[in-house]
Amino acid sequence: MIKKPAQQHPHRNMLRVAIPNKEAAAALTFKPQTLRSWSSSGTGPIRPVRVGGRIYWRVNDLLRLLEGSPK
């Protein structure tokens, strides 16, 4: 029997505006706890967005931070 490939969500390949805390931490080579601390204390170089109580980080902010200019 031939299996059909699983259908992907139509938006799966679109550029994401924000990524979850764990992915952002990995991209910055920090622990997820560090980013959670930035979020709760408001002392980090970038600010998160909250979606359904979860922490997400804007990709543009992460890229600026990686390039050395957080603002």
Residue 7 lies in a domain: no
Report pLDDT digits (tens) over 12-37: 556 789 999 999 999 999 999 999 99
DSSP E strand stretches across 1-71: 18-20, 49-51, 54-58
Residue 4 lies in a domain: no
Distance linking the first and last C-alpha atoms of the chain: 55
Residue 24 lies in a domain: yes
Residue 8 lies in a domain: no
Enclosing domain of residue 43: 18-67
Residue 30 lies in a domain: yes
Number of independent structural domains in the chain: 1
Residue 36 lies in a domain: yes
Residue 2 lies in a domain: no
pTM: 0.74
Using CA atoms, how far apart are residues 23 and 45, in angstroms rounded to an integer? 17
| Amino acid in position 52 | G
Report pLDDT digits (tens) over 33-57: 999 999 999 999 999 999 999 999 9
